[in-house]
Amino acid sequence: MAVIAFIGLGNMGSGMAVNLVKAGHSVRGFDLNNDVVNAFAAKGGKPAASVLEAVTGADAVVTMLPAAKHVRSVYEGDEGIIAQVRPDCVLMDCSTIDVDSARAVGEAAAKAGVKFVDAPVSGGVAAAEGGTLTFMVGGPEGAFEAAAPYLEKMGKAVIHAGDAGAGQAAKICNNMLLAIHMIGTCEAFVLAEKLGLDLQKFFDISSKASGQSWSMTSYCPVPGPVPAAPSNRDYKPGFAAPLMLKDLRLAMEAAGSVGAKLPLGAHSEALYTAFTEGDGADKDFSGIIRMIAEGQAK
């Protein structure tokens, strides 16, 4: 049994932390929201009153935070996690942030002689709760080997993507592709309906033909064909539209930094901006089908 500090018990972090508890570890959880800390404690976690209390003496630290500024603020500086943990502690940031920030934290950890990996996830809330996430991990081989046993308790796949920042690079490329796939899937269903096709019949055909994708077969944006999809819950988020927009903006920023021209990625960002600023702020990203169906997408 290891002592693990888990910082960030939001929609994703809470399920991940509980899976570490189920694996037999002693998990100290901290979040600025006391309600989620109390909910975590009710499931066997140990509440911590501060980041420092959580990480002191820990064997491992996992962070799941909203943005790069939060990640850097908790890791860096004299009061940061890197300066407070034991040299043999392994640090895992599962947030989705920009590549440069991930590399900066990795460099700070390396200078301090502490193992650190950037390990963003794919799979959404249901996968976080079910322990079936995919982890895309960036960092030195030794840090990856130290982190993998913990990540494996929270996911079905733990893949070493490369050096520091590579996990974040893989995540933003993957989610840009997901956004493009989802928009295309939504447009196909909208057209199918207008052409008089039964949507279940279209799903039965396309999910087994060359147009199939994860957005079709696992996360279908119309109610019915995939019972577990958010489309059957009025698009209550599994993966909220603002989070998809965040990832698309990270991808476009990264593209700009390396001179990559990504017309479909850029258009996806524009569409998700319109959706989020309209009725999609509290909806799943697959809910963009409503905007497309209403003819509001441009």
Structure-block tokens of residue 46:
């140990």
Over the range 187-204, which residues count as b (16 or more CB within 10 Å of their CB) and which as e? Answer: ebbbebeeeebebeebbe
CA 231 – CA 204 distance, rounded (Å)? 17
Residue located via tokens 């001179």: 259
- What 8-state DSSP symbol labels residue 91? E
As to burial, measured by CB atoms within 10 angstroms (0-12 exposed, 13-18 middle, 19+ buried), residue 128 is buried
In whole angstroms, give the CA distance from residue 3 to residue 38: 19
Bridge-based pairing of strands 121-122 and 133-138 is antiparallel
Residue 156 appears among annotated catalytic residues: no
C-beta separation of 98 from 114 below 8 A: no
Catalytic residue among 171, 236, 283, 298: 171
Which amino acids are annotated catalytic? 171
